Amino acid sequence: MSRVSVIGLGKLGAPLAAVLAARGFTVVGADVNPAYVEAIGAGRAPVVEPRLQEFLDAGKARLSATTEVERAVAETDATFIIVPTPSQADGGFALDYVLKTAEPIGRAIAAKTGYHLVVLTSTVMPGDTDSRFRPALERVSGKRCGVDFGLCYNPEFIALGNVIHDMLRPDFILIGESDRRAGDVLQAIYERVCEKAPAFARMNFVNAELAKISVNSFVTMRISFANQLARMCDRLPGADVDVITGAIGLDSRIGKKYLKGAVSFGGPCFPRDNVAFARLAARLGTEAPMAQATDRVNRDYLDHLGQRILACVPKAGRAALLGLAYKPDTGVTEESPSLALATTLLAAGVAVEAYDPLAMPESRAKLGETVAWASSMAACVAKADAVILLVPWAEFRQLTPALLKNGGAGVAVFDCWRQLAPAPFQAQGRYLCPGLGPD
């Protein structure tokens, strides 16, 4: 199949459409947001993501966009759905936007004489693909899944800020398939896209759905473990969390990924997938105490960091927050630990000035004018009594005592990711970070 449609042209959909087009597929993107459609049509990136513009340029002759989902499906042979599945109050995922796509997709499939593959990439609760989405497609199209059309559940394991890289070089591709033909077609698409031959994990829908949230729940457990270890090191003279995690990460049963004691996890996937894992267990009449503990440790650790930072700021002092996004190389602030810490500092009467290379507009929309918004790192730290490096942006490694108030004399620098050389800051003021025991 060489003609592919992508429904949803946001943070993940636009990169997927660009990558597919750059790899030689004819791609029709569809989105209800006319600004996204206009941007794709003009060859501009509708969202901020490293290398996205490069891939849009490479595939521009094969990429178009429309607001009409039915048209996009009618003109292609395979359709990827990447629309929001917002978290509900109980922790599950709402399927409203996914089910809305079933209507136009089903109508387009009804008018087709050939085979069409539908790929659901949006994260859903285990059971939803087969019990809710497949029947909706069959009802509208009047055709049978696994016979007249194929359906796969194919969630992504990618991080904002690394979307293009992760799409080109995934650790593995997870495919929940209605039948072997559907899985074969989807695997062939990925074999054309990926820079290295990925491992494929193919299974039924419910196993793939549970595998998706299981991966993120397990990864968050590792992050919370590392942060709990850092909290213990804070109180143990001579302890260094990086030394400890570096050692235990050498054990092949453990490994080093996501084992960094630093800041609580955030973002659009990790917190909600972990909560959804626990919610699923409750629905099934069992428990997921490790997932619940992970969430509790994550929130408690953020409170712990807030108290440590407040201890570094003089009464009615001024704090500079470097980093507002939930991670570097993206402007997304969803579940951002930085914004939560800003709120904690403000509630304690601390004046807050903040800077982030990409997340300023989104942060300002959430915090308003309660915060002073700096135009650069240097402007942010110039008047601060305490400087907190919350997000490991590369440019923050250029921080020096000369940029600080009074050349750093008396200024506390809280380096959450241990990006800086401590000695210059210790010579002038105070250098603190999570995971280092007291001298």
Active site residues: 269
Cβ–Cβ under 8 Å, residues 200 and 172: yes
Angle at which helix 270-283 crosses helix 205-233, to 10 degrees, equals 120
Distance, CA of 30 to CA of 8 (rounded, Å): 6
Kind of pairing, strands 172-177 and 149-153? antiparallel
Looking up tokens 């709402």 gives 94
Position 272: which residue type? R
Count of other CB atoms within 10 angstroms of residue 164:
20
